[in-house]
Amino acid sequence: MKKPLVIFGAGDIAELAHFYFTHDSDREVAAFTVDEAWIDKPVFCGLPVVAFESLASTYPADKYDIFIALSYSKLNAIRKEKYLAAKAMGYGIASYVSSRAYVPDPNRIGENCFILEDNTIQPFATIGNNVTLWSGNHIGHHSQIGDHTFVASHIVVSGGVKIGEQCFIGVNATLRDHIQIGDKCVVGAGAILLANAESEGVYIGQATERSRVPSTRLRGI
């Protein structure tokens, strides 16, 4: 039987993690934790919120696992920091993989991954530690996603792509096959990458501009 779970966070992503673990996993969520300075209420989702600094005294690592439910803030650096801190404290780190995701080899999924519904992870693809895959992505065969990376929704990662650590890939981005994305890259919504991207690169998709014709003058609508 798996240990009960403590979720780090008390915001929207923590609430989502609580929902998914409760309704689509064999995990029981026992409590939430955040840094003491950020505690503004003692209860969240009907469960106690405890200070991370004193977590070991009330929810010790030999009896509880942890999941870090944080966003891509500061290029995933805060989520990375808390993930590494929890490991240093001896906690087992849980992952959530939706029952409605296609994952042929769960052993290729790292710790503290948050893989939501309708993701297709093809054979021989590898997902690192502390990676978020929001809903509806295609991760091609033999691709690799590095640690501490956030992949938004409806992204196509073609076969043989290597994505570095602490990257952010925005909605509807497309990465062609067999390219390499360096560490700490930001690939914006709708961007198309056809060649290698050096570390710390920023790639912004073309925004759609407003038409000069107002909607009231459109005849076909």
Question: Would 208 be classed as within a structural domain?
Answer: no
Q: Extract the tokens encoding 26.
A: 């064999």
Amino acid letter for position 24:
D
Which residue's structure tokens are 């994305």? 181
Total number of domains in the chain: 2
How high is the pLDDT of residue 14? 98
pLDDT band, very low/low/confident/very high, at 1 (cuts 50, 70, 90): confident
Residue 143, phi then psi, degrees to nearest 5: -80, 160
Which of 139, 130, 140 minimizes the C-alpha distance to 87?
130
Residue 37, phi then psi, degrees to nearest 5: -65, -20
How high is the pLDDT of residue 220? 77
Which of 6, 59, 2 minimizes the C-alpha distance to 31?
6
* Range(s) of the domain holding residue 87: 5-94
4-42 tens-digit pLDDT: 999 999 999 999 999 999 999 999 999 999 999 999 999
Would you say residue 63 has pLDDT above 80? yes
Report the chain's mean pLDDT, rounded to a whole number.
Answer: 97
State whether 80 and 111 are in the same domain. no
Would you say residue 99 has pLDDT above 90? yes
Distance of CA 198 to the CA centre of its chain: 22
State whether 17 and 110 are in the same domain. no
Would you say residue 71 has pLDDT above 80? yes
DSSP 3-state of 47: strand
How high is the pLDDT of residue 221? 79
State whether 110 and 185 are in the same domain. yes
State whether 81 and 144 are in the same domain. no
CA 45 to CA 132: how far, in whole Å?
A: 22
CA 113 to CA 117: how far, in whole Å?
A: 13
pLDDT band, very low/low/confident/very high, at 199 (cuts 50, 70, 90): very high
Global pTM value:
0.95
CATH number of the domain that residue 103 is part of:
2.160.10.10
Question: Would 52 be classed as within a structural domain?
Answer: yes
How high is the pLDDT of residue 206? 87
State whether 174 and 189 are in the same domain. yes
